[in-house]
Structure 1
Amino acid sequence: MDPQRIQDHPAFRQLASERTRFGVGMSVAMAAVYFAYILTIAFWPRLLGLPLWSGTVITWGVLIGVGLIALGLALTAVYVRRANTRFDYLNQRLLEEVQ
């Protein structure tokens, strides 16, 4: 198989484009949420130090930090699902058309 032939194929360009757009979009979303958290720490730390409710030692900062970790896991799961469905389908179609 000639690599240039694969790279010139419309199905490859579609696959590469979709993967890039999806990956960049998810990366930007995660980075925006993370930087919002960091900026809150920098400019409004009292908010993150407030307890969730009266009498608890758990603060909003802890809850939001755990939420960031959960968001990262959720975005990873969404990407894996997309990769195992749409991207695998496009890859299989490309291989069939190139051979």
Structure 2
Amino acid sequence: MPSPTQTDDALVARIAADPRYAALVRDRQRFSWILTAITVVVYSSFISLIAFDKPLMAQPVGGGTISLAVVLGAAMLVGTVAICAVYVWRANGSYDARVADLLADARA
């Protein structure tokens, strides 16, 4: 009877050899890099505005006491949470189902 680690190693090898696994990894990495790029662009744009256009960022919004920097900073935080939510939604809706199919087929 094979040991649990031999069985696990065989299962991992079957999954790694499945072309659907390679496609899943490729799709997940591409989507993750797209979300990462969006986050980097947004954050670096915000920092660049702070560094190079302080008068713009100091402008009050709507005639009040809150500056544009505060509004954009809050929007950036909300956007970051939204990006995380999009990834979780995609992972739960697509990636998890694909992983479950791979595991079911590999154990069969």
TM-score, scaled relative to structure 2: 0.86
Match of 2:72 among 38, 60, 64: 64
Match of 1:36 in 2: 45
% identical equivalent positions = 30
Asked if 1:77 corresponds to 2:85, the answer is yes
CA positional deviation for 1:10: 0.8
Structure 2: segments with no counterpart, 5+ residues: 1-7
* SS in structure 2 of the partner of residue 66 of structure 1: helix
Number of aligned positions between the proteins: 98
Match of 2:19 in 1: 10
C-alpha RMSD of matched pairs (Å): 1.0
Would the aligned equivalents of 1:11 and 1:93 in 2 still touch at CA under 8 Å?
A: no
Larger radius of gyration: 2
4+ residue runs of structure 1 moved beyond 6 angstroms? none
CA positional deviation for 1:18: 1.1
